[in-house]
Structure 1
Amino acid sequence: MYIPKQYRMNHEEAIQMMKSNPFALLITVDEHRPLATHIPLEIREEDGKIYGTGHIAYGNKQKKTLENNSDVLLIFQGAHAYISSSWYEVEEVPTWDYLAVHAYGTARIISGDELKSALDTMLKHYESHRENGRLWDTFDPELLESEMKGIVGFEIEITSIQAAAKMSQNRSDTDYKSIVGELETSNDQEEVQVAQWMREQRKGLFK
Structure 2
Amino acid sequence: MYIPKYYKVTDLEEIKEFIQKNSFGTIVTTRKGRPIATHLPVGFSEKDGDYYVTGHMAYGNPQWRTFEENEDVLVMFQGPHAYISSSWYEHENVPTWNYQAVHAYGAASILDEEALKQELSEMLLKYEKHRENPVLWEKLSPQLLEKELKGIIGFKIKIREVQAAYKMSQNRNEKDYVNIVQKLQEEKDINSHQMAEVMKKKL
TM-score norm. by structure 2 comes to 0.96
Give distance in 1, aligned partners of 2:49 and 2:123. Answer: 21
Letter in 2 for 1:109: I
Matched residue of 1:168: which SS?
Answer: coil
**Residue 165 of structure 2 aligns with which residue?**
164
8 Å Cα contact 1:68/1:107 also seen in 2: no
Partner of 2:63: 62
**Matched position secondary structure for 1:70:** coil
User: What is the distance in 1 between the residues matched to 2:69 and 2:32?
Assistant: 16
Report the counterpart of residue 97 of structure 2 in structure 1.
96
Match of 2:195 in 1: 194
1:30 paired to 2:31: yes
* Aligned partners of 1:115 and 1:153 also within 8 Å: yes
Cα deviations across residues 167-192 of structure 1 (Å, max 9, x unaligned)? 00000111111100001122322211
d(CA) in 2 for partners of 1:115, 1:67: 18
Cα distance in structure 2, aligned partners of 1:84 and 1:7: 19
Kindly indicate whether the alpha-carbon contact (under 8 Å) linking 1:52 and 1:156 is maintained by their aligned counterparts in 2.
Answer: yes
Tell me the alpha carbon deviations over residues 62-108 of structure 1, each in whole angstroms, 9 at most, x when there is no partner.
12112474310000000110000010111110000000001001100
Q: Would the aligned equivalents of 2:184 and 2:193 in 1 still touch at CA under 8 Å?
A: yes
1:6-21 paired onto structure 2 within 5 Å = 6-10=6-10, 11-21=12-22
- Report if aligned partners of 2:31, 2:66 keep a CA contact under 8 Å in 1: yes
CA distance in 1, matches of 2:30, 2:8: 27
Counterpart Cα distance in 1 of 2:76 and 2:141:
34
Provide the residue aligned with 2:5 in structure 1.
5
**Structure 1 length normalisation: TM-score?**
0.94
* AA of the residue aligned to 1:35: I
Q: Distance in 2 between matches of 1:194 and 1:63?
A: 34
Determine helix, strand or coil for the equivalent of 1:3.
coil
Counterpart of 1:143? Answer: 144
What is the match of residue 205 of structure 1? Answer: none
> Number of matched residues?
202
Q: Classify 1:36/1:108 alpha carbon distance in 2 versus 1 (closer, same or farther; 3 Å).
A: same
Further displaced range: 53-62 or 180-189: 180-189
Q: Distance in 2 between matches of 1:56 and 1:67?
A: 16
Question: Percent of pairs identical after alignment?
Answer: 52
Q: 5+ unaligned residues in a row in structure 1: which ranges?
A: 203-207
Secondary structure (helix, strand or coil) at the match of 1:124 reads helix
Aligned CA distance change for structure 1 residues 127 and 68 (closer, same or farther; 3 Å): farther
> Structure 1: which amino acid aligns with 2:64?
K
